[in-house]
Amino acid sequence: LINITGGENLTISEINEATSLIQKEAHEDANVIWGMVIDPSMREDIRITVIATGFGKAEAKKVDKPTIPAMKRFAQLPGFKDRSKEIPPFSISVKEGNRETPAFMRRVKASERFDELKLDPPSDFTIEDQDRFDIPTFLRKQAD
């Protein structure tokens, strides 16, 4: 992990030079990640922080897993019956169809097709009816 801190005039070529130098010294399988911070107070200075881990790994001591006594199945406990059943074999059937059409459209019944335009029958709606809707419903019902 590389953190490069520099002033506002820090260039990408300077960053590239620093990261390349560190990467050459690191192991060929090392995963090198770098980032940069602009600190105006640094002006012409550059600070590079490298955090390296994983070298000189010691072998981990093997610890025996604690043994846990096996639990009894419910069927073996008093008061419980063995209710396990054999699962019958089954098969999956795949219907061959038009794979060009999306699945949600293939599953729609022919009577429910939505690609056909369904319009309500025309009504005898007049301008007078429209004026009537200017009056709130509860007042119209009281007048009727």
Residues above pLDDT 90, as percent of the chain: 22
Contact 33, 2 (CB under 8 A): yes
- 71 occurs within a structural domain: no
Question: Where residue 6 sits, what CATH number does that domain have?
Answer: 3.30.1330.20
- 28 occurs within a structural domain: yes
Contact 80, 74 (CB under 8 A): yes
pLDDT exceeds cutoff 80 at 14 = yes
Structural domain harbouring 36:
2-50
Q: How many CA atoms lie within 13 A of 33 on its CB side?
A: 5
Contact 47, 57 (CB under 8 A): no
The phi, psi pair for 93, rounded to 5°, reads: -105, 135
Q: How many domains does the chain have?
A: 1
- 38 occurs within a structural domain: yes
DSSP at 114: S
- Give pLDDT tens digits for 111-131: 555 556 666 777 776 666 677
pLDDT exceeds cutoff 70 at 78 = no
